[in-house]
Amino acid sequence: MRSAPELHAGDQVLSSDQIDRTFKNFHAFSCLAIGVSGGSDSLALLCLLHDWQQRSRWPGRLLVLTVDHGLRDESPQEAEFVGDLCLKIGVDHRTLRWTSAKPKSNLQDEARKARYRLLAEAMSEDNAEALVLAHHQDDQVETFLDRLTRGSGVYGLGAMRADERSGPEGLRLLRPLLDVPKSQLQATLQQMGQGWCEDPSNDSTDYKRVRLRHLAAELAAEGLDVERLVDTAGRLRRAADAIDSWVDQVLQNNVEEHPAGPLALHSEQYSGLPEEVRLRLLSRLILRVTRTAYPPRLAKLEALDLALCTDENVRSTLGGAQIVRFGDRFCFWKEAGRHPPETANLCGQGSMVWDDRFRISSMRGAIVEEGVMIGPLAGAPAADGEFTFPEGMPRDAFATCPAIWRREKLLLVPGLFHSDPEIEASIAVEHLRKLPMRTV
């Protein structure tokens, strides 16, 4: 499995100055995780980052994480290969195994989700602040072309960001090698005398990314080379940043968020926005109420936007969210769907995450008592007496909001109900992801 192809005369290695510039912003971190598979890209990242750490005397800690999906016979040996290298250079290493049953459909997508889930769990245990990935210039081009074939808009065609603040599982992703060609990474490894593992699928045209790589070579022959494609993606990211800045202002000034989760926006304020801003706003609102990792496809957002702008009685679902016109407002909330939020026992828990949306914390030990539960309001016991739902939002919007009860007595629904002031002061229920918007 170890491979070190011959170094070609035209391949240039990365200089110490280039390496220092690549990682200069990493001084701000105290612990970084690195995703390393054993291939040339990720091994180059590991070796370069370790080299920089030694020369710069960065006092932080590196944690190397290798995910073994259990889908190829070679993967255990590749993980062992990475572990041996880490032991040699004195870097902590962990192998993470996907041991659950493998799905019969959408295997690659499910494997990707499992990978980030395993990485997030390991990083949480070791207090790693960000995940460093080895995506390089060639990957950026393949991503751009792939999204172009899917009909992506300005956000998708912006391809990958060097610093993605809220990636899958809420992870911060750092991609310091996006300006570096793969050939330069391999040449640098070769100069270091470091071999790597070669995956035969990297050259198989059964995979779309390989076919896109060949297409990129053909486009370069027509004058649309790597540099121009990367520059185009960068300009689209600039446009996306400008739209996001506008969306941030709309969220802050016009969107109301109830502490229990639902969102509301006046229909006139929505329809008066440019279409591209509306589409991005829809994506952000859906992700906010559902806490899913990926936004709906652009075509589905466009269809929803058309309905919101033309249908006086719109009631739709998209991406796990319910979107309803209620009077002169559009309301957004998480739908129960096929998998409603779980009901969990809070006994013995000082802090926990519920439904990937809320963090529940005990301020004075209140939630460690026996029999205290959390679940969706739709499945909670009735309150002692009526409580008033806010104007401008339907009652349905609160069906999946968090409710806390003991035995058959409802204790707390954030922003809606508490059995007594002591309970409200003792239990904190907070959104995991903060967005700049007003609360009601």
Residues annotated in the binding site for ATP, as ranges? 37-42
Residue (of 149, 141, 155) closest to 229 by Cα position = 141
Write the single-letter amino acid at 197. C
For the packed helices 137-149 and 226-254, what is the interaxial angle rounded to 10 degrees? 70
- Other residues' Cβ atoms within 10 Å of the Cβ of residue 30: 12
Residue 180 contacts residue 230 (beta carbons within 8 Å): no
Residues in a beta bridge with 34: 64, 132
What is the C-alpha to C-alpha distance for residues 418 and 437, in angstroms, rounded to an integer? 24
Residue 411 contacts residue 419 (beta carbons within 8 Å): yes
Residue 360 is classified by DSSP as E
Bridge-based pairing state of the strands 173-174 and 130-132: parallel
What is the C-alpha to C-alpha distance for residues 110 and 46, in angstroms, rounded to an integer? 26
Reduced to 3 states, what is the DSSP secondary structure of residue 294?
Answer: coil
What DSSP element (H or E) covers 299? helix 298-310
Handedness of CA 376, 332, 282, 429 (dihedral sign): negative
The single residue listed with the structure tokens 């304020």 is 269
What is the C-alpha to C-alpha distance for residues 367 and 151, in angstroms, rounded to an integer? 48
The single residue listed with the structure tokens 């997508």 is 109
What is the C-alpha to C-alpha distance for residues 27 and 439, in angstroms, rounded to an integer? 36
b/e per residue 56-68 (b: at least 16 CB within 10 A) = eebeebbbbbbbb
What is the C-alpha to C-alpha distance for residues 296 and 304, in angstroms, rounded to an integer? 10
Residue ranges of the binding site = 37-42
What is the C-alpha to C-alpha distance for residues 334 and 317, in angstroms, rounded to an integer? 9
* Residue 397: C-alpha distances to residues 8, 223, 289, 323, 400 (Å): 62, 53, 11, 9, 7
- Other residues' Cβ atoms within 10 Å of the Cβ of residue 291: 18
Structure tokens at 303: 């269809």
Residue (of 62, 57, 71, 120) closest to 89 by Cα position = 62
